[in-house]
Amino acid sequence: MKGRNPTRRKLGRVCTTICAKTVGEMAEKAASAFAMGTDLVEFRLDLLQRPSLDAAGELAHLARKSVFTLRPKDEGGGFKGSQRERLALISGLSELRPLYIDIELRAAESNAGWLGGLPRTSHKIVSWHDLAETPGFSVMKQVRNRAGSLGDIAKIVTMARTGEDNLRVLRLHEEDPRNLIAFCMGEAGMVSRLVSLQMGAPIIYASLPNEPVAPGQLSVTAVTRLKKMWEAGR
């Protein structure tokens, strides 16, 4: 019927990953991302030239719209210090009250007491990455259960080598979409990023235009436009 409002569906949040060498650059890029319609930004603090609590403090005014991530070098990140130094810095970052804080499954399982002592003011994303391939469904399901038992959101990211890898990852959403972010990286995995949002993922990661942080990452302008179209039911 003409003039009738389409049924609207509420989808998860768009989160633009922000990388820069200085916090000043990060703040500028975050402002650009919000102007483009992003809901959240992920500050990759491990990629700062000098990651520190003082530096991150300059981003505190954006904390409640942010994911703070301090990825270690051996898991594809840029933090080169010891695990002890990294966990201490994450503890300090949590005092800035980011909306989300990303913690790797291995660190969470190996430091359960530390994890439990973090403030409850931030939602914990417990993440697991396979940068080489997409393992079997049973492996990912087990990982999902482990991560979900430790955090508020389980995040599983794998590398897609074939189109079938997307289906295997998305099956996690099909089985139980609650509190789950699961998608594939790589050009072959691009479709899984978008479909995961439609299947109930609370967050979809995007990049600034022409600044992908991970292979297959879509621009914030494309993702926000698609999200609006899907929510409008068109």
Q: Pick the catalytic residue: 29, 129, 173, 227?
A: 129
Q: Give exposure, 2-14, as e/b (b: 16+ Cβ within 10 Å).
A: eeeeeeeeebbbb
Q: What pLDDT digit, counting tens, does each position of 86-122 carry?
A: 999 999 999 999 999 999 999 999 999 999 999 999 9
Domain ranges of the chain: 13-221
pLDDT at 233: 82
- Give the span between the Cα atoms of 19 and 44, in whole angstroms: 6
Residues 204, 14 contacting (CB under 8 angstroms): yes
Is 155 assigned a catalytic role?
yes
pLDDT at 1: 40
The yes/no answer on whether domain 13-221 falls in CATH 3.20.20.70 is: yes
Q: Pick the catalytic residue: 29, 155, 173, 227?
A: 155
- Percentage of the chain beyond pLDDT 70 is 96
Closest CA to 221 of 211, 207, 203: 207
Radius of gyration of the chain (CA): 17
Question: pTM of the entire structure?
Answer: 0.94
Is 227 assigned a catalytic role?
no
Can you read off the two tokens belonging to residue 135? 């393992």
